[in-house]
Amino acid sequence: MKKPSTWYAQRGSKRALIAALSSCALLLGACSTNTAENSSKQQESTAAEAGENVASLGLGDVDTLLALGITPSVFAAWVEDSDSPNGLGPWAADDLPKDKKPEVLYGTGTGFTSEHLQKIAAAEPNTIVAVNAQVDEDTKAKLEAIAPVTYHDKQYKDWQVPWRSQVESVAQAVDKKAEGKELIAKTEQSLKGFRDKHPELAGKKVAIGLPYNGQLSLYTDADGRGALLEELGFEVPEEFNERAQDNFYFELSPENYDVLESLDYLFILSYDNNEDELKKNPVYANLKLVQENRVFFIEKQLGNAMSTPNPLSIPWSVEKLDALLAQNTTS
C-alpha cells in the first residue's frame, strides 16, 4: 500500500509514520528524547511583559493558544497544506481572528529544518512554545538563541504528553495559568457530558488502529487517540498497553487478529482509503465484531483531532464521535 502523505507520518522514523498517519503522514510515529520543561523559569511572564509574540511549535499547541486568546505569529501545523488553507483543523479555524495571518510551518513532525528555523527567527517571537514536539539538542540550542522556550514536562515522552499537562505548560508559558485551569475544567465538562449520555459504554473494551502495510497499528492509552477514548468511558485493554511496551502503539499482523475478539468495539482510522485492504482480509472479515457491526471507521479530520487532544479539538471530537456511534447503531 502506498504510504499516505498525511501528517500522521510526519512524526519521525517509523513511529512517526504510525502516529502521524493519524494525522501526521500516515502513521505519525514518534520516537524520542525527553525534554526539559522550560529553558528558563523567567519565561513564564515573557509574553505578558514584552507583548504577545509567540511562536507555537508543538503540534496542536496552537489550538490551546487560540483557546487562551493568543494568536501566534508563527505555528507548526498539525495538518498538511492540502488539508487546510490556514494550517488549522476545522475545530480551531473559527478561533483564528480574521485579521491575523500567522506564518504556517508544515512538516515539523520529523524535525525542524533550517527553513523552519529561519521562519521562526524572522517572526521575532519573545516566547516559543514547543510542548507537543520532538526537539533534538541541536535544535533546542538554536531555538533558545531566538527566545525562551517551553517544552513538555520532562516526566513525559515526546508525543505522549497528556492533554491536561499540555494545557498547563502552554498556559504557564504565556502567563495565563488561571485561564488554563478554566479551559481544563470546561473541556472536562464536555467529556463528562458524553459519559453521562452514554453510561452503557462505561468500561467497554476498545482499540483504535491504523491499517498499514497489511497490518494494524494499534494505539495504547499513552497516545492521544487511546487516551481520549478512555476519557469517554471506554477502556483500552491492559494487554494492548503491555504489547506496546514503552511505545504508544504496536503492530498486529493478520494471523493475530483473533486478539481483537476480546474487544467490544474497534475504531479504525480511515485515511486515503487505507482500510480497503483490511476489509478484504478474510481473517478480519470473519471477526465477530466485524460481522456484528461493532467497528467504527474514523475519517481523517476526526482522526487528526483525536491525535492532538486539547481544549478545541476535544469538544469537536466528542460531538463527531457521538454522531458516529449513533449512525452505527441505527444503520
Predicted confidence (pLDDT) per residue in 79-93, tens digit: 776 677 789 999 999
What pLDDT does 31 receive? 32
Q: How confident is the model at residue 17 (pLDDT cuts 50, 70, 90)?
A: very low
What pLDDT does 77 receive? 94
What pLDDT does 161 receive? 95
Q: How far apart are CA 213 and CA 77, in angstroms?
A: 26
This prediction has a pTM of 0.86
What pLDDT does 30 receive? 32
What pLDDT does 213 receive? 87
Distances (CA, A) of 153 to 166, 168, 209: 8, 10, 27
Percent of the chain with pLDDT strictly greater than 70: 83
Report which of residues 55 and 23 the model is more confident about.
55
Mean pLDDT of 105-131: 96
What pLDDT does 274 receive? 85
| CA terminus-to-terminus distance, the chain | 30
Domains of the chain by range and CATH? 54-178 (3.40.50.1980), 200-298 (3.40.50.1980)
Q: Are 267 and 298 in contact (CB under 8 A)?
A: yes
278-295 confidence digits (pLDDT tens): 999 999 999 999 999 999
Ordered DSSP codes for 266-289? EEEEE-TTTTHHHHH-HHHHT-HH
166-215 confidence digits (pLDDT tens): 999 999 999 999 999 999 999 999 999 999 999 999 999 999 999 998 89
What pLDDT does 36 receive? 41
What pLDDT does 73 receive? 98
Q: Which residues pair with 105 in a beta bridge?
A: 76
Q: Would the pLDDT of 20 be above 60? A: no
Rounded to the nearest integer, the mean pLDDT of the chain is 86
What pLDDT does 41 receive? 41
Ordered DSSP codes for 1-17? -PPP-SGGG-SSHHHHH
